[in-house]
Structure 1
Amino acid sequence: MQQRNSDADLEGDIRRTYAGTPVRVRVSGPLTSGGHSLLLLHGWGSRIEHMWPLAAYFPEDTRIVAVDMPGHGESPPPSEPWGVARHVQLVEELIADLTRGPLVIVGHSNGGRIALTMAASDAPPANLEALVLVAPSGIRRKPTAKVRFKRAVARLLKAPFTLLPGRLGEGGVDWLRHSLVWRMLGSSDYRSLEGVMRATFVQTVNHYVEDVLDRIDMPVLVLRGAADRDVTRDQTDRLVAGLADAGYFEVEGAGHFAQTERPDVVAGAIRKLITAEASPGRAAEASA
């Protein structure tokens, strides 16, 4: 288990090693503030700065922590491909090291996927009290006609290689996956990546949480920008329906990055959840 550092009360940008890899962490506020702490988790392709605008809407003595995930911002890529489980391990070690008292995780997009996976585990951090998820990923999106077409083409391209024996077939599939044609079938995020980060991306985006939502017993507030084209209302509706204590709030004037486009509204929702009475239906109360 990650040992707590003696200098955990430092503030500003610091360097830490969690889950065996170095990362940049930003810390604000005293370690033992007596109130709630906030942990800000950015999405894929983002960094601390895409979450930190929220910090301006909380008192200076609020403990706020954010991290550049491996391969993002100023954190180097991991030495091998990571799935969601390793990201969860990193976050758990960070929580033990840099937070005390009741904790609210604010996760955007892939940060929401990581937070949901951790909350659904057999032993989530003892001080984790609630989640606030902004355009969270992890719920399957109903495929568009364009996506269905790309999947059909990919199956056709793979079919001949699957008929070849053993390593010959495996080598053919590996060659195909590194070809320009295959890359063009992938998303823009996939096409922009190479090596360990491309493999990490594939493992991460193919991790879904629908089957574990019933294990989450803490309040979860879900926010989505009204103009979000990356996460649909159908996805957030299914997420909220699968949780025991969940609320939904749509952020007008925002797209996929509501926490940077309307940080005042997102911070207000966080404060409302924190101050809501601790009772069943707390997240729904905060979204009203």
Structure 2
Amino acid sequence: MAQVELNSIQLGNNGHPLVMLHGWGQNLQSLQPMGELLATRSQVHIIDLPGFGKSAPPPEDWDTAQYADRIHQYLDERGIERADLVAHSVGGRISIRLAHKYPERVRSMTLINAAGLKRQRTFQQSLRSQWIATIRNTFKISPLYRDELLTWHSQTYGSRDYLNAGALKGTFIKVVNEDLTELAQQISLPVLLLWGEADTETPVEMGHRYHSLFANSELITIPNRDHFMFQAEGAHLCSYYVDKFLDRLPVKELSR
């Protein structure tokens, strides 16, 4: 794959390597407060994903497999044999892909409000989604004002992340349409799931589904916390649970 320059920071020099991956539209600064807390016991690496923060964009539309390959390269570049992963939202998608594709390089995962599963919809929501898709497909074959109609459709029905994706729109479409159900079922390493019960972007029901899919997982749901539950004082709350989780890993894992 093409080499893409990554921007990253390292916090702490001691302890087991821990790699943190942010969500869509964010950058490493969003995770830095929590990373600073975790650095008291781990060697923390926080990465700007390609196309975000100060990292170079991917040379083409990437999916999560290509993002995972680039993080795998980062592990090689830093001499990290095996890492703990802490990831938010889309960063969770990439972590799952990395753990599935390179299981020997991942010791554990903490997924915070992770994306990657299809949202469960009511009958009415499914009808509306089908109606929106039908309108777009009709506009695609329109002999008149095709581009204008498609632009109107995107601006009217597109998500905030899609509208703000800019040059990454193709990547966004690839990433959000992936369903990682089968991959999650094949992952046996320890997984901590942290979920805000007030999350409307990746609802807590996704956390429960992930908990049933992973062979070795723990789910902690936190009332009144939304999709960005790790921000502000939430950094202390999340780092507390991550530290407790890492402390419970088998001692023999620490020597690998």
TM-score by length of 1: 0.78
Alignment-derived partner of residue 247 in structure 2: 275
In the aligned structure 2, how far is the partner of 1:220 from the partner of 1:187? 29
Alignment-derived partner of residue 210 in structure 1: 181
Alignment-derived partner of residue 38 in structure 2: 58
Alignment-derived partner of residue 62 in structure 2: 82
Give the direction of change, closer, same or farther, for the CA distance of 1:25–1:161 in structure 2 (3 Å limit). closer
* Counterpart pick for 1:238 among 209, 214, 217: 209
Deviation track 1:22-80 (CA, whole Å, cap 9, x = no partner) reads: 221111223xx3x3211000000000011111123235573110111122112232221
Alignment check: 8 A CA contact 2:99 2:105 kept = no
In the aligned structure 1, how far is the partner of 2:93 from the partner of 2:39? 28
Alignment-derived partner of residue 110 in structure 2: 132
Alignment-derived partner of residue 198 in structure 2: 227
Give the direction of change, closer, same or farther, for the CA distance of 1:58–1:269 in structure 2 (3 Å limit). same
* Counterpart pick for 2:168 among 183, 192, 197: 197
- Give the 4+ runs in structure 1 shifted more than 6 A: none
Mapping of residues 25-64 of structure 1, within 5 Å? 25-30=8-13, 33=14, 35-60=15-40, 62-64=42-44
* Counterpart pick for 2:87 among 79, 97, 107: 107
Alignment check: 8 A CA contact 1:63 1:99 kept = no
Where do 5+ consecutive residues of structure 1 fail to align? 1-17, 280-288
Alignment-derived partner of residue 133 in structure 2: 154
Alignment-derived partner of residue 182 in structure 1: 154
- Aligned residue type for 2:133: A
Across the aligned residues of Structure 1 and Structure 2, the Cα RMSD in angstroms comes to 2.5
Aligned residues: 248
SS in 2 for 1:179: helix
In the aligned structure 1, how far is the partner of 2:173 from the partner of 2:68? 16
Alignment check: 8 A CA contact 1:177 1:183 kept = no
- Aligned residue type for 2:109: L
In the aligned structure 1, how far is the partner of 2:164 from the partner of 2:39? 39
Alignment-derived partner of residue 256 in structure 1: 227
* Counterpart pick for 2:6 among 6, 9, 23: 23
In the aligned structure 1, how far is the partner of 2:139 from the partner of 2:152? 18
- Aligned residue type for 1:133: L
Does 1:72 pair with 2:52? yes
Kindly state the Cα deviation for residue 99 of structure 1 after the two structures are TM-superposed.
Answer: 4.9
Alignment check: 8 A CA contact 2:26 2:52 kept = yes
In the aligned structure 2, how far is the partner of 1:69 from the partner of 1:177? 33
SS in 2 for 1:77: coil
Kindly state the Cα deviation for residue 187 of structure 1 after the two structures are TM-superposed.
Answer: 0.8
Give the direction of change, closer, same or farther, for the CA distance of 1:28–1:139 in structure 2 (3 Å limit). same
Kindly state the Cα deviation for residue 151 of structure 1 after the two structures are TM-superposed.
Answer: 3.3
TM-score by length of 2: 0.87
Where do 5+ consecutive residues of structure 2 fail to align? 252-256
In the aligned structure 2, how far is the partner of 1:177 from the partner of 1:240? 42
In the aligned structure 2, how far is the partner of 1:108 from the partner of 1:68? 13
- More displaced stretch, 213-222 vs 269-278: 269-278
Alignment-derived partner of residue 119 in structure 2: 141
Alignment check: 8 A CA contact 2:87 2:114 kept = yes
Give the direction of change, closer, same or farther, for the CA distance of 1:148–1:95 in structure 2 (3 Å limit). farther
Kindly state the Cα deviation for residue 260 of structure 1 after the two structures are TM-superposed.
Answer: 1.4
